[in-house]
């Protein structure tokens, strides 16, 4: 495959993740959209590393995978905590997370 195909694939994955992040309200869908966007960035870093012949992009991608794993653990723990308190994973129901709370 040529690098152009990888760039196109990464752009497509990032676009799908962005649409999922903007259009959905479920916290699991939001989490998966963020992960998809971060994975597309890793694909771009690895492709640039291969095209330029410089291993630094691959090293950054590996470090980014470690950060993504830590972020996944924290985000899933937060979702579990919110579900236990509110019995929903719909992001519109979490008014305690907003700075300007709505008075009902």
Contacts of 79 (CB under 8 A, 6+ apart): 27, 28, 31, 89
**Tens of pLDDT along 13-71?**
999 999 999 998 888 899 999 999 999 999 999 999 999 999 998 999 999 999 999 99
Query: Which is more confident, 21 or 92?
Result: 21
Q: Which two tokens stand for residue 56?
A: 């630094």
Min mean pLDDT across 61-65, 86-90, 91-95 is at: 91-95
DSSP 95: G
d(CA 76, CA 5): 33
Number of domains in the chain: 1
Q: Is residue 33 in a domain?
A: yes
d(CA 54, CA 88): 46
Q: Is residue 103 part of a domain?
A: no
- Here the CATH number for the domain that contains residue 32 is 1.10.287.3510
pTM of the predicted protein model: 0.81
Q: Do the domain assignments include residue 49? A: yes
Kindly state whether residue 52 falls inside one of the protein's structural domains. Answer: yes
Give the range of the structural domain holding residue 38, as residue numbers without chain letter. 25-91
């Amino acid at each position: 495959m040529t690098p152009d195909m990888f760039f196109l694939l990464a752009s497509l994955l990032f676009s799908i993740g962005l649409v999922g992040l903007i259009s959905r309200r479920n916290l699991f869908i939001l989490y998966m959209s963020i992960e998809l966007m971060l994975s597309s960035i890793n694909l771009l870093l690895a492709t640039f590393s291969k095209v330029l012949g410089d291993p630094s992009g691959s090293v950054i991608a590996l470090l980014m995978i470690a950060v993504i794993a830590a972020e996944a653990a924290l985000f899933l723990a937060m979702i579990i905590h919110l579900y236990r308190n509110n019995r929903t994973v719909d992001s519109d129901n979490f008014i305690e997370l907003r700075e300007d709370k709505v008075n009902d």
